[in-house]
């Protein structure tokens, strides 16, 4: 793709990087073939190729986007299926991030839209605030008919009750057997509030296999939610805080890895190195690279580093388990085979979902902001899952689990909950009726 950036524009490292990405695009359109929004809407501007042209126009001319441009950029799920498909290696992930930041800096959204996005950016990364809001919305049930349709849709995703974790926070969990490795575990923000059982299962698996687990109180949120909303200043505060806290732990305790059981978070943390590669603080750049380099999805770590004890599975019933590969896992992190191989070791029949490369519609806050598109994607995902008739669905991302559970009766649990169960842990909460 030909570009027309001025020399003074290219002095900006972010512009320089995006210009190099634009030049790799050969207009082939293969990205559209796997883009969920293009598949549903059929509009060139709702596919990666169209969005690339719009972002290029904004940046080259250094102008605010039109309402139409914002609509199409906002509709991107950041599923990154196009990254997997593109034969030219176009780094669309960082282009859409740049485009969103430009939109946020230069475009004045309608007041209701600004309010909604700011509310999500403020509340979702704060588990206590999220729980408080859930209780308030539950109490206000009789008055929900007075609320705007968008707000009522968001409220529908609020949990009716909250589980409690069996582990305290900000502590070091030491295995009862000989320690073979030390790791830090990201417990997440939304996940910590609505599904602490996922973190409990993660800790139990690790301790059972001789791994010391560190959880830091300083780690509030990975920054992904605000990052994808274009809230650059807020997300960078989270990024910097996390990098410094984990690096101090890395230096002090010589941890081998930072483990993530929420794939959307993992994609962002692994990208810290890129995000800060041009930062003026050389030490922060160094720290960011180290943190990105040692971050692994928990299934990625278990598959490559730990020999799990599945001997208990001999006495278990065999299930048909459908594995839903989260977009941030398979496209963002290129982690696909590892969780499947782990699940196969449980002795169960593991099934891959047809058209598994397509998004379920969750995508962080996407299902809250773009409910019509998200609902259609959910419908298609559930139809494909039903085709293989599973007893259980496994996934590696809390967003996907929440989204899919709203569209199908088949129980869905996190992959690590199944690994915990089949290596000596308790039966997952979501499978108690099986």
Per-residue pLDDT tens digits for 24-34? 999 999 999 99
- pLDDT over 90 at 297, yes or no: yes
* Residues 363-366: contacts with CB under 8 Å, at least 24 apart: 363/77, 363/78, 363/79, 363/327, 363/399, 364/78, 364/224, 364/225, 364/228, 364/264, 364/399, 365/120, 365/124, 365/225, 365/228, 365/229, 366/77, 366/78
Strand partners, 412: 393
Closest CA to 343 of 236, 422, 267: 422
In a domain, 1, yes or no: no
Average pLDDT for 169-184: 89
Residue linked to tokens 């996390």: 242
Closest CA to 184 of 259, 281, 261: 259
Rounded Cα distance between 76 and 369, Å, is 11
CATH number for the domain that contains residue 212: 1.20.1050
Picking from 88, 106, 124, the residue at the C-terminal end of a domain is 106
Does 274 lie in the same domain as 185?
yes
Question: With bands split at pLDDT 50, 70 and 90, how would you rate the model's confidence at 349?
Answer: very high
Strand partners, 181: 211
Half-sphere exposure (Cβ direction) of 317: Cα atoms closer than 13 Å: 8
The vertex-322 CA angle with 320 and 326, nearest 5°, equals 160
DSSP-assigned states of every residue in 26-58: ----HHHHH-HHHHHH--GGGSHHHHHHHHHHH
Rounded Cα distance between 299 and 340, Å, is 9
Number of compact structural domains in the chain:
4
Picking from 247, 269, 302, the residue at the C-terminal end of a domain is 302
In a domain, 263, yes or no: yes
Does 139 lie in the same domain as 17?
no
Which secondary-structure segment (H or E) carries 181? strand 181-186
CATH number for the domain that contains residue 407: 3.40.50.1860
Does 287 lie in the same domain as 185?
yes
In a domain, 217, yes or no: yes
In a domain, 221, yes or no: yes
pLDDT score recorded for residue 313: 63
Confirm if 198 and 206 have CB atoms less than 8 A apart.
no
Helices (H) and strands (E) in the chain, counts: 24, 9
Does 280 lie in the same domain as 316?
no
- pLDDT over 70 at 328, yes or no: yes
Summarize pLDDT for 43-66 with one digit per residue, the tens: 999 999 999 999 999 999 999 999
Does 185 lie in the same domain as 147?
no
Does 126 lie in the same domain as 242?
no
In a domain, 51, yes or no: yes
Does 151 lie in the same domain as 102?
no
Question: With bands split at pLDDT 50, 70 and 90, how would you rate the model's confidence at 315?
Answer: low
In a domain, 333, yes or no: yes
pLDDT score recorded for residue 127: 82
Rounded Cα distance between 137 and 155, Å, is 7
DSSP-assigned states of every residue in 288-318: HHHHHHHEEEHHHHHHHH-----GGGGGSPP
Does 257 lie in the same domain as 176?
yes
Does 427 lie in the same domain as 345?
yes
- pLDDT over 90 at 250, yes or no: yes
In a domain, 363, yes or no: yes
In a domain, 4, yes or no: no
Does 378 lie in the same domain as 270?
no
pLDDT score recorded for residue 108: 94
Rounded to the nearest 5 percent, the helix, strand and coil shares of the chain are: 55, 10, 35
Question: With bands split at pLDDT 50, 70 and 90, how would you rate the model's confidence at 317?
Answer: confident
Per the structure block, which two tokens stand in for 391?
């007893």
Does 370 lie in the same domain as 317?
yes
Per the structure block, which two tokens stand in for 216?
């830091």
- Mean pLDDT, rounded, of the chain: 92
CATH number for the domain that contains residue 48: 1.10.1060.10
pLDDT score recorded for residue 131: 82
- pLDDT over 70 at 314, yes or no: no
Is the CA virtual torsion 239, 241, 244, 245 positive or negative? negative
Please state which of the ranges 6-15, 70-79, 150-159, 376-385 shows the lowest mean pLDDT.
150-159
Is residue 211 classed exposed, middle or buried when 0-12, 13-18 and 19+ CB atoms within 10 A define those classes?
Answer: buried
Is the CA virtual torsion 129, 365, 359, 271 positive or negative? negative
Q: Containing domain of residue 142, as a range? A: 116-155
pTM of the model: 0.92
Does 66 lie in the same domain as 50?
yes
Picking from 262, 285, 302, the residue at the C-terminal end of a domain is 302
- pLDDT over 80 at 169, yes or no: no
pLDDT score recorded for residue 210: 95
């Amino acid at each position: 793709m030909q570009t027309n950036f001025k020399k003074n524009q290219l002095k900006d490292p972010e512009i320089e990087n995006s210009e190099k990405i634009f030049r790799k695009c050969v207009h082939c359109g293969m990205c559209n073939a796997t883009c969920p929004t293009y598949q549903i809407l059929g509009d060139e501007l709702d596919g990666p190729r169209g969005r690339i042209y719009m972002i290029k126009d904004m940046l080259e001319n250094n102008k605010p986007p039109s309402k139409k441009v914002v609509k199409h950029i906002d509709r991107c799920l950041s599923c990154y299926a196009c990254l997997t498909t593109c034969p030219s290696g176009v780094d669309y992930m960082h282009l859409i991030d740049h485009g969103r930041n430009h939109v946020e800096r230069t475009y004045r959204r309608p007041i209701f839209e600004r309010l909604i996005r700011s509310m999500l950016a403020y509340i979702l990364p704060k588990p206590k605030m999220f729980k408080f809001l859930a209780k308030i919305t539950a109490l206000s049930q009789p008055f929900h008919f007075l609320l705007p349709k968008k707000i009522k849709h968001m409220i529908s995703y609020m949990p009716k009750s909250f589980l409690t974790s069996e582990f305290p926070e900000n502590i070091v969990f030491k295995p009862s057997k000989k320690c073979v490795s030390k790791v830090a575990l990201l417990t997440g923000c939304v996940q910590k509030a609505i599904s602490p059982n996922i973190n409990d299962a993660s800790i139990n698996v690790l301790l059972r296999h001789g791994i010391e687990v560190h959880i830091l109180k300083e780690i509030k949120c990975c920054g992904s939610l605000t990052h994808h909303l274009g809230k650059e200043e807020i997300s960078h505060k989270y990024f910097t805080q996390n990098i410094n806290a984990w690096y101090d732990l890395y230096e002090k305790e010589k941890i081998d890895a930072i483990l993530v059981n929420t794939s959307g978070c993992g994609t962002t943390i692994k990208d810290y190195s890129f995000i800060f590669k041009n930062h003026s603080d050389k030490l922060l750049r160094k720290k960011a690279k180290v943190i990105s380099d040692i971050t692994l999805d928990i299934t990625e770590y278990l598959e490559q580093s730990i020999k799990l004890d599945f001997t208990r599975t001999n006495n278990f019933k065999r299930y048909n388990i459908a594995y839903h590969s989260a977009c941030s896992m398979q496209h963002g992190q290129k982690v696909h085979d590892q969780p499947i191989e782990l699940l196969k070791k449980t002795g169960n029949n593991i099934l891959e979902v047809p058209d598994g490369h397509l998004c379920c519609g969750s995508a962080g806050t996407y299902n809250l902001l773009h409910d019509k598109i998200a609902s259609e994607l959910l419908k298609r995902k559930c139809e494909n899952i039903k085709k293989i008739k599973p007893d259980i669905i496994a996934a590696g991302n809390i967003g996907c689990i929440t989204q899919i559970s709203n569209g199908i009766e088949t129980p869905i649990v996190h992959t690590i909950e199944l690994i915990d169960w089949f290596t000596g842990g308790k039966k997952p909460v979501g499978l108690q009726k099986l």
